[in-house]
Amino acid sequence: MIVIIDYGMGNLRSVQKGIEKAGGEAVISSDPREMESSSGIILPGVGAFGRCMENLRKYDLVDTVKGIARSGKPFLGICLGLQLLFDESEEFGPVEGLGVLPGKVARFPESDTFKVPHMGWNGIKKRADTKLLEGINDSEWFYFVHSYYVVPEREEDIATVTDYGVEFVSSVHRGNLFASQFHPEKSAEKGLLILKNFIDLVGENE
């Protein structure tokens, strides 16, 4: 079973509906025991980085999420669920993150041409072959809503990049961990393909 982490924030139901539409099943839970016994984990997120970290601590989920993300179990982070995996964010900060992946979260530079937040559809460029991007070609378009982006320390963690005034990292991977700045559950056919690839990866590891 796939568990979507409920820590009081995030687009939980839309992610659950996306998984169901892609042919899988998922439950929404804040129970660490359910997460640890699951076959796959999704960490969504909407809102401010610091508030999300506060809620993870409030729900006593920090160690659980870090452990699962490092365990090799299929793990999908979405939007802020990507950013939380890194060491720190400069949003109202610096604010300490989960530290699963080395790097930081930075704000888009001010620009007269590119509005912040970055909101809407944009293309990706693949930097790595990874299970969740099977069937996804360069320049496929996905849906974004964010003002901050991740800056990984390790080049090998980068799965895709996207141009928005600057070239930023739009998804990362490491082992069975994959996390995207874009929203697969809001990205039509290609987004559902990523969710199906995640479902398949979970099935392979059951």
Predicted TM-score (pTM) of this structure: 0.95
| Residue range 113-132: mean pLDDT, rounded | 93
Does residue 146 carry a catalytic annotation?
no
Residues 6+ apart with CB under 8 A from 51: 9
The catalytically annotated residue of 88, 91, 140, 185 is 185
The catalytically annotated residue of 79, 91, 118, 146 is 79
| Residue range 31-46: mean pLDDT, rounded | 93
Does residue 79 carry a catalytic annotation?
yes
Mean pLDDT estimate for the chain:
94
**Domains in the chain, ordered, with CATH?**
2-204 (3.40.50.880)
pLDDT value at 110 more than 90: no
| Residue range 54-75: mean pLDDT, rounded | 95
What CA–CA distance (Å, rounded) separates 87 from 81? 13
Per-residue pLDDT, 48: 87
Tell me: cis bond preceding 94? Omega within 30 of 0 counts.
yes
pLDDT value at 119 more than 80: yes
At 158, the pLDDT band (50, 70, 90 cuts) reads very high
Q: How far is CA 160 from CA 34, 69, 71, 192, in A?
A: 31, 19, 23, 17
Inter-residue contact 181 to 171 (CB < 8 Å): yes
| Residue range 196-205: mean pLDDT, rounded | 93
The catalytically annotated residue of 118, 146, 173, 183 is 183
